[in-house]
Structure 1
């Protein structure tokens, strides 16, 4: 049996399952089998049933499903206590029938690295071989890099200063506030990129600094625009409170007042529902741009000083109190204490706490763990350096020699046509090591670094990725392989494009993909000092591939879709690198 329960904040599903067996069936439950609601098969069946029941074709004859309005740009993102898929604390992963392949993978990596080290020892007398990559990473400016990175994180406090000014009323967020924030963000990322060019850092320094700068940029944007939105809500609430005070001083007239709006013309159906942020947003989105909201008419009537009758005073008071309570709930957000609600959250400590949390989406409060497991944190940081060592070994043995061959060809003036003749051979030599590096880089960031940060910051939501390796289309991959960035793009690009620019979902998707591709291309430009657009072009090619995956020929071909996805992952990084090296 599946039932829905609607709470104040989120809809919940209560699941109870009773299976009646035949009299001949032997069991200890007297014909009743009780199963856990967390069973994956049961949850899948429930989702299918709910989707089936919500389909318009399943509604009774004559009834039509009400079309819900589009979600706002600051739509709710639910943070809950979760573990990442490959984390040893995730008991579901440990009990997976494929867990042995995970163990086999790391055993194979270990023996592979041992073989590389043995070959290097035999040929060069050093397990690291010639060790050009390691020497290049630590040859110069390591201290400068760390100091610059610390200063960059410190400069994010500019956004906090601006939000304090917005709350104090010195700057209007809907006017000059968001302009100043965008100007500062442009200056910030410009300084980050410019420093890498001025210092002429090696690729390792550049990748770290630029990527971390982009992360800090996204954090600043989320912090500023969410708090800026709350500042507008706060200002509206204060305005309505002042109108309520004015209404309390009004002496109602006995005869029916002709002041607009009349009490009978004001909608009061929503007053029967509990005032909440959800109800407030749903009502606000359901009002067309041409129609003036009732609350604005009420506020204008109170401020006009025109006479109001008793019925108007009574109805206006109820409407104002409902609206104020709903706005108060919006300002509270997911905070469980008043100290976390807006504007009490605008502290320097809260701002810099957000800069180290492993998330790019700002919320007033997140689910937190009870304590820090120091052994677990040490395990993750050891795994981090171990994976970096493996990546250096693979790069030194298989990628660095190919790169240096192309550099020598350019230095010797080999014509472009002759260099292109080497392209297939270069691709064949790079495809396997780049695939290995791609997987290890993903594991390094999303499994070791983010879990380490989550552990030391008491951050309980560890769902940094979903099962992207099972992707059958590129849009599924974009959603699953990097959940922090996906959540940021969903809230601050996709939904913001729909609400602010009034575009449809397809255009918002195009904008989101294009912005993501431009950021990736910026990183490639910083590394290679070349603006070629190869990565941007390949990423934008994902859009027609997404459309192709939804055609009737591929819609239900999960294995074929997954093969096409892995083909792109397998060849994409090596093709990109080869193009940048050859041209």
Structure 2
């Protein structure tokens, strides 16, 4: 819910700034229409020769505005607004070029305000309604858009299948926990109650790890299936949400950066937009620093979850998650690059051992 609210506020705040900018440019275009140009060349800055006009032949689009246009185009619009506000005389050529540039900029801003909406009336600020907000709250996504792909009807048999699978998987997970994980946990509780020193408890660490590897692997896979295959698809079906790309084939991953992208697409999209790209644009950092910030924030949130579960702040999960960064660099070396099978084997070794090592550390210490 925190991610949803942040995405909703952040994106609408961004669109609000574009909307105000567009209103400003529309007002300046009206002022240009009322200006009586002088016949002689004007000395008012900027001269027409300094204005970039090559892009005016292209149809403005949000994608082109964000990624392709040089910064000079934005500066040109600011210079033109300053020239109009100055009240200095403008010649005929300046009025014509200024108007063309501002109209192109207004069209580009209007395109951004439409976002991904394809229906009229859904662009900003028409989206700012209680209905739109609470419709977004129940959708299985944490990245806000003005419009999402929607299905035409509900397949109730599919929804019932996912609901039944959800409760069935929870039952299986409870059985695995009670039969294979709970006895190990109670052993560690007994050792602490009997005053077994830390060295004595650590001597049991290898056996505890072996006892927990397979149960935790089962719980890990079932938890993933429970959330990303049953719960999210059930919600998507009930809300007519047609984008079912909640995960990729992460079990075929050959590196940890690929796993980070594929195993949880909704959260990956959130981190990509609101942490990675926001770090680059707001903090002016390079891509490597933005990646470090993204991984670190994600690790901190996961560590907070472990703190809530175990009532202990240890940093084990944070450390293991940050270890993914050197492993990513290792996967790009000449020894592992283009060796997909070996990369996948290393990935599965990490998946097998990581959860059990993590839980064993929390139980022992």
TM over 0.5: yes
Q: 3-state SS of the aligned residue for 2:121?
A: helix
1:513 aligns with 2:257: no
**Partner residue in 1 for 2:179:** 397
SS at match of 2:162: helix
Return the offset for 1:454.
0.5
Q: Which one of 41, 46, 60 corresponds to residue 256 of structure 1?
A: 41
Compute the displacement of 1:326 (Å): 1.0
Counterparts of residues 164-243 of structure 1 (less than 5 Å)? 216-243=1-28
Match of 2:43, SS state, is coil
Deviation at 1:344, TM superposition (A): 0.4
Deviation at 1:282, TM superposition (A): 3.5
Q: Determine whether 1:355 maps to 2:137.
A: yes
**2:108 alignment counterpart:** 326
In the TM superposition, structure 1's runs of 4+ consecutive aligned residues that sit over 3 Å from their partners are none
Taking structure 2 as the reference length, what is the TM-score of the superposition?
0.98
Tell me the TM-score normalised to structure 1 length.
Answer: 0.62
Once the two structures are superposed, residues 523-581 of structure 1 have per-residue CA deviations (whole angstroms, 9 ceiling, x without a partner) of 00111111110000011111111111111011122111111110110011111111100
C-alpha displacement of 1:331: 0.3
Q: SS state of the match for residue 308, structure 1?
A: coil
Local SS of the residue matching 2:333: coil
Q: Distance in 1 between matches of 2:16 and 2:231?
A: 34
Indicate the structure with greater helix content: 2
Matched residue, 1:342 = 124
Aligned pairs for 1:410-489 within 5 A: 410-489=192-271
Alignment partner, residue 182 of structure 1: none
RMSD: 1.2
Aligned residue in 2 for 1:287: 71
Pick from 375, 386, 389 the counterpart of residue 157 of structure 2: 375
Local SS of the residue matching 1:338: coil
Which residue of 27, 38, 55 corresponds with 1:270? Answer: 55
Alpha-carbon offset, residue 374 of structure 1: 1.1
Aligned residue number for residue 272 of structure 2: 490
Pair 1:534 & 2:316 matched: yes
**CA shift at 1:466, angstroms?**
0.5
User: Structure 2: how far apart are the matches of 1:280 and 1:576?
Assistant: 46
1:86 is matched with none
- 1: distance between equivalents of 2:60 and 2:297? 37
What is the alpha-carbon distance in structure 2 between the residues aligned to residue 373 and residue 235 of structure 1? 43
Structure 2: give runs of 5+ residues left out of the alignment: none
Superposed CA offset, 1:100-137 (max 9, x none): xxxxxxxxxxxxxxxxxxxxxxxxxxxxxxxxxxxxxx
In structure 1, the gaps of 5 or more residues are 1-215
- Provide the secondary structure at the position in 2 that maps to 1:464: coil
What secondary structure does 2:147 align onto? coil
User: Alpha-carbon deviations, 1:467-521, whole Å to 9, x = none?
Assistant: 1001111111111111111111111111111111111111111111111110100
- What SS does structure 2 have at the residue aligned with 1:519? helix
Instruction: Specify whether residues 293 and 570 from structure 1 end up closer, same or farther in structure 2 by C-alpha distance, changes over 3 A only.
Output: same
> Residue 272 of structure 1: CA displacement?
0.5
| Displacement of 1:341 | 0.5
Q: Look up the match of 1:169.
A: none
- Inter-partner Cα distance in structure 2 for 1:541 and 1:320: 50
Deviation at 1:340, TM superposition (A): 1.2
Give the deviation of 1:248 after TM superposition. Answer: 1.1
Q: CA deviation at 1:254?
A: 1.1
In structure 2, C-alpha distance between the alignment counterparts of 1:474 and 1:266, rounded to whole Å: 47
